[in-house]
């Protein structure tokens, strides 16, 4: 099981150039253990420590991602609590572009069961 979690980390490292790991669900493990295994997989794949961070609070991790994002970057968020994260994303988006600029499709998607945000 631990090797599967490390393999997940290695798979992330093949796709992204900066990774913030946030795992609020310890999955019957001690708090932080799953995140440490994912991080180990990322590092074993060749990432350096500055390019992978563990912030186990998902809201804090998202806030950190917003604080380091640069124009042209893409933030990918995989979460269990979609509504709470979507609310945070929309609050950030409103701060940087204003409510009037939010595309209609995004506003409408907020009331749908499946939610996808695509910013171009």
Residue-level pLDDT at 70: 87
The region of weakest confidence among 6-10, 48-52, 70-74, 110-114 is: 110-114
Residue 115 has pLDDT above 80, yes or no: no
pLDDT in tens, 12-56: 999 999 999 988 776 788 888 999 999 999 999 989 999 999 998
- The values of phi and psi at residue 21, to 5°, are -100, 125
Provide the residue ranges of all domains of the chain, joining segments of one domain with +.
2-58
More confident residue, 47 or 96: 47
DSSP assignment of 15-76, as one string? Answer: H-SSEEE--S--TTS-TTHHHHHHHHHHHHTT--GGGEEE--SHHHHHHHHHHH--TT----
Mean pLDDT of the 90-110 span: 64
Residue-level pLDDT at 106: 52
């Amino acid at each position: 099981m631990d090797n599967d979690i490390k393999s997940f980390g290695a798979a992330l490292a093949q796709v992204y150039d900066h990774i913030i790991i946030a795992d609020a669900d310890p999955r019957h493990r001690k708090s932080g253990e799953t995140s440490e295994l994912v991080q180990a997989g990322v590092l074993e794949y060749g990432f350096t420590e500055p390019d992978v961070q563990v912030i186990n609070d998902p809201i804090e991790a998202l806030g950190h991602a917003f604080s380091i994002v640069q124009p042209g970057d893409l933030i990918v968020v995989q979460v269990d609590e979609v509504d709470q994260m979507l609310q945070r994303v929309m609050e950030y988006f409103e701060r940087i572009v204003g409510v009037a600029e939010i595309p209609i499709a995004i506003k409408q998607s907020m009331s749908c069961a499946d939610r996808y945000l695509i910013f171009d």
